[in-house]
Amino acid sequence: MSDNLQTIKQRFGIIGNDEKLNRALKKAIRVAPTDISVLVTGESGVGKESIPKIIHNLSHRKHKKYIAVNCGAIPEGTIDSELFGHEKGAFTGATQTRQGYFEVADGGTIFLDEVGELPLTTQVRLLRVLETGEFLKVGSSKPQKTDVRIVAATNVNMQEAINKGKFREDLYYRLSTVEIELPPLRERKEDIHLLFRKFASDFAKKYNMPTIRLTEDSVKILQNYPFKGNIRQLRNIVEQMSVIEESRLITPEILKQYLPENKKLLPVIVGTGDANADFGSEREIFYKIMLDMRKDINELKRITKKLMEERDLHSNSTVIADSDDVQKILTQVNKIEDAKQTIEVIKPFNSKPFYKDNNITGTYAEVVEPMVSLQEKEKEMIIQALERNKGKRKKAASDLGISERTLYRKIKQYDLQ
């Protein structure tokens, strides 16, 4: 098995001798000759795509088709058609019958990457394929047979997804007949330098330049770095240094410039939050919403403070304000739709507007920071992004910092068709 393992590593370009990595590879080699469904788990960037290739090439299906499908990259409205095909006239634009991946890969292997992103309706169809080997094309009532082995992968915590109702429990158990977990790079400290040297050599050949090397201190820094992006992040860092740095010897001072923790990073939303909240792919848009809310509240504070200072300069028992200031504060109040405080504009003898609380005689109410609806703010931002980009969803999603699929779901949620 040891000689076989080293051969497999060389064949598929896998670098490392970590015990957890070796255990995962051995498990893949053992299950390859069978038709058992396999679920590969691990963080993003750990190299999950290598496992289904190993399984396919060591199985009796190796001469048949191998198709890799990124479930998270296909819009929810078209994913059923992509996987199972469709009949002519099944929907607008279906001008001819189309074969899906399950029909094309008959006798072979399908790798479903990011399977945790599948819509619930598609999960039902997939479960039927696993249980009976049958599927229905979109727009057809005639079941078709397929003999496909499914290897799936996800970086999502499946138990949490099941608890939140985002993934079917029965489908999870059918997919994970055998579960193979790949360790994150930070748990493979001894492999980090090996991977660095491999990437450095590859990029030296690619860009026709001398290979970069690490000092001993740099090796220690790299081995202790958390690598949240795992192997993909390490590869990116090595490529940058190979191209940019004139010196081929990478010192700690040079290395630290390429490690994200030494750059100014924006904070992100953390914590458990509401059980139904989807902070995974949408945290950026929520963060933008919170920034806008903070600006609104700070503007209210600034204008209110100015009004109170002006009150102290006048002998009247009223607060005098310029019309511009009135307009500003009204604009800010209108932005925050959950504000409960009622303020009205009154015109006294000098025709200058001022603010007075109806419920408190001779005094002035403190402006209380109201609670703002995240949903309303999110809806407003999506509408503005779509208007700016003339309804082009791809560009609007890019402006918002979210995936096109997430934007599609939000448009349906807020009925913005």
pLDDT value of position 278: 47
| Location of structure tokens 């009976």 | 132
- The candidate with the shortest Cα–Cα distance to 385, out of 288, 276, 241, is 288
CATH architecture of 186-262: Orthogonal Bundle (1.10)
Q: What's the CA gap between 384 and 416, in Å, rounded?
A: 12
Q: What's the CA gap between 19 and 23, in Å, rounded?
A: 6
Angle between helices 283-312 and 323-335 (to 10 degrees): 150
User: Which residue positions in the chain have pLDDT lower than 70?
Assistant: 1-3, 262-292, 294, 307-374, 417
Fold of 373-413: Arc Repressor Mutant, subunit A (1.10.10)
pLDDT value of position 277: 43
Cβ partners under 8 Å of residue 228, min gap 6:
43
pLDDT value of position 404: 82
Cβ partners under 8 Å of residue 241, min gap 6:
212, 250, 254, 255, 258
pLDDT value of position 335: 54
pLDDT in tens, 25-84: 999 999 999 999 999 999 999 999 999 999 999 999 999 999 999 999 999 889 999 999
Domain ranges of the chain: 2-183, 186-262, 266-372, 373-413
pLDDT value of position 311: 60
Buried b (16+ CB within 10 A) or exposed e, 64-101: bebbbbebbebebeebbbbbbbbbeebeeeeeeebebb
Q: What's the CA gap between 348 and 163, in Å, rounded?
A: 60
CATH number assigned to the domain covering 2-183:
3.40.50.300
Q: What's the CA gap between 147 and 89, in Å, rounded?
A: 27
pLDDT value of position 188: 96
| Residue 211 CB burial class (10 angstroms; 0-12, 13-18, ≥19) | middle
pLDDT in tens, 170-207: 999 999 999 999 999 999 999 999 999 999 999 999 99
Tokens of 349: 């003898």
